[in-house]
Structure 1
Amino acid sequence: MERRFAGSVRPPCPCKLGCAAVRALWNTQAGRGVLVTLGVLVLVTAIGLAVLWPRGEALDVQEIVAGETVGGTVTAVIEGGCEEFSAPGCELLAVELSSGADAGRTTTITLPGDEDKPDVEVGDEIRVLGLDGASGLGFESDGMPPGSESVETTYVFIDFERGFPLLVLALLFVVLVVGFGRGRGALALCGLAASLALVLLFVVPAILQGGPPLGVALVGASAVMLITISLTHGLGAQSAAAMLGTTCALLLTALLAGLFIELAAITGLVTEEARLLRGSSGGTLSLSGLVLAGVVIGALGVLDDVTVSQASTVMALRRADPALGARQLYRAALTVGRDHVGATVNTLVLAYVGAALPVLLIFSTQDVGLGTMLQREAVAKEIVATLVGSIGLIAAMPLTTGLAAALAVRLPAGVLGHGHAHTHTHTHTH
């Protein structure tokens, strides 16, 4: 008896599948229009990267505290003995430095006696700052921790060393992504690495060099989208529809964000970090522009999720029933999309609420009304980001679904999507 199994052989090379999908798109009028539009988008993005790419000197952003940050291990903790130069409740730490000019030597660090004093114990790995221009311990005390030496630089506590737990968590994440997603998961990690590289090597330095925050964010987001979608999901009708849908929704998000940040008078001066950045740059950085750039980049992740999912849904429906027309595909996929958008909007809102939770707690303890609290910039900024991102998300869903449906009915089922549509059948005799 003969039985036919789909997927019984290894699928063809993804590169060949991508080329076949592009050729199939080019053979239709709608497909050619999409490919030409994507070509223009790639060209504009490349020109934007070339023009805005950081080169030369960055803005003169002064260091808040000059010095070198090094690692160390706490070898002893003594309570008290430092009240003459610090508040009551202070502690003296003996720290063996593990890097820097004084590596291998042990110095004494004072933890001020205030309510924000960290709970440091013997054996903790910490980060300390060597203050430029400050020499010696600055004091002598009979209560100094054992093993302390007099070094030529004064060190102060900065933070705990978190490299190892973060590395373990990152490795766990990588193992789970690759273990569950296999090849697709590995490609997703490559896309994630490319996204982070673009943000760190292009977006941040370009803004620091005085580039327009909105322009930098749009170019950076477009480059991230093009790389991650094509790398993770390949080339073809699904990716083409997702890219165009994401681009249109991203432009709408940027337009609405710019408009309502201006109308709501969002200055960006609500956090200590923003004020320090503004002051250290001499007022040359546009903090409202940074808020706008943050909204655009933050919206990209959820937009990618919705557009890729909707395009994939359309292609799956078309493969399952090639007789479906564009309108039928659109309606069927839209039903799935409504559920997806509802869940994603809720996720987006909760993410911004979580980010603003400390501010909400502070305002809730004050005698202010709900209306007053919502109009405070710290809260209003999150409201604008949430609503603008949600509007872009909602707009992306029908737009991408329509594009995908229009392409799907004009292409043979064999070139829709990748992997599933290209799996061959083999005949096995039993």
Structure 2
Amino acid sequence: MSQLLRHFEIPSNYFPSVSVYERTDAKIRYWLNYRLPDGYRRRVPVGNDGPEARRRAKHKEKELAQGLFDLEDSRHAVGRLIEAEPSFSEAIEWYLSATAERKTPRTLENERHQLGKALGEFEKLGARGFADIDARMVEEFRAVTAAWRTRGELSVSSVNNCRRHAKRITKALAARGKILSDPLATLTFLPASASEQSRNVIIPPEDIEKLLSVDYGTLDIRYDLKSLIGFALQTGMRTGELLHLEWDDVDLENGLARVRTKPGCPTKHGLGWAPKWRKERIVPLTKEARCILGRMDRSRTTSGRAGKGGELHPARFIFPKREGKKKPVWTRLDHLTKGWGKVLEAAGLEAKGYLFRDLRTTTNTLLTEHLGFTHKEASEILGNSSEVNARHYTAVQIELAREKMQRLPTFAAGKPSLRIVSGGVEK
């Protein structure tokens, strides 16, 4: 029996019955015997095992009752049946499968969340499927998502991202004939200024100093978040790059960190890690960045599971988390949200809503607006451009970049080594 099935809406008066037809004079002894909704009779060979033939007959009968037809069935029945629209959950899985080839596991996980959130809003509005989404419901969805921005719950960018995911999936479903028409073709986006298109929060030096002055020993955080914050400020690296950074990626003697593709690196999505756009780069390490790494334990054994519940793989993560008390082990750190929240609260900055990734934006601003980096130079260090590649670097360029980066603030001895003022840097 074919494993490729199509789902159709069946007539209310169709009650399938599948029997086993036995032919003693044929090479294949047992056949399934049933009629399709249009009355067409089918006989399908299923082998010479009687009990197995009867089991398959029951299974086929259940499939027909659910409107599931194999390819040969559908060739006869398609003229009399309407292919059923997928449910919201079925549509999400279809869309992710159809677009998986060009996406990373992390991207697919994020899209599953975003699509579920968007279509979940239509379920709250009473939609049981795509056929229920009419012009009135689209307007209600528009109003609900706009209210997120009005109440300050989400930014313009986040609201538009939710709408964008909803439009993508309905457009794809309509293009492939999965639904009759695109119900969200007229859905528009919230107008946004250039600054609202993406988050651009800069943490002032006095607030960074508060973050680093917290007594981390009292916060019950199972990883070295203080060193992680300091290193992030000195390098401008992305959160995922920091959490998957290993000692083999660092050359302390020459002051370099390599952001590179690592097929054997265990991640929460599986085995293998790659930087954004799969573009590698070299990050010059300042004296302060090297000091931070120099204080850390390089001999510590670390590991990580390849995927949720997957096999443990050895690794050399620089910023792992501790698990267990009596016999602690060090494993890959996947999330900073809780620890970062504890630090914000302890520093009295919870109301400001800083995110860990704002450290990267802060470093970018220091490089371009206060330390003399051109935007191209900063992009090469931070990996902001999709065109960046490690081949673009020369030893001279790296050293020149390091010299400029040496002026990044160290926030040592209770006071920042520089502060941002209008028009430049004040030491």
Could you tell me the TM-score, scaled by structure 2's length?
Answer: 0.26
Q: Specify which structure has the higher proportion of helix.
A: 1
Whose relative contact order is higher, 1 or 2, with alpha carbons under 8 Å and at least 6 apart?
1
Structure number with larger C-alpha Rg = 2
Could you tell me the TM-score, scaled by structure 1's length?
Answer: 0.26
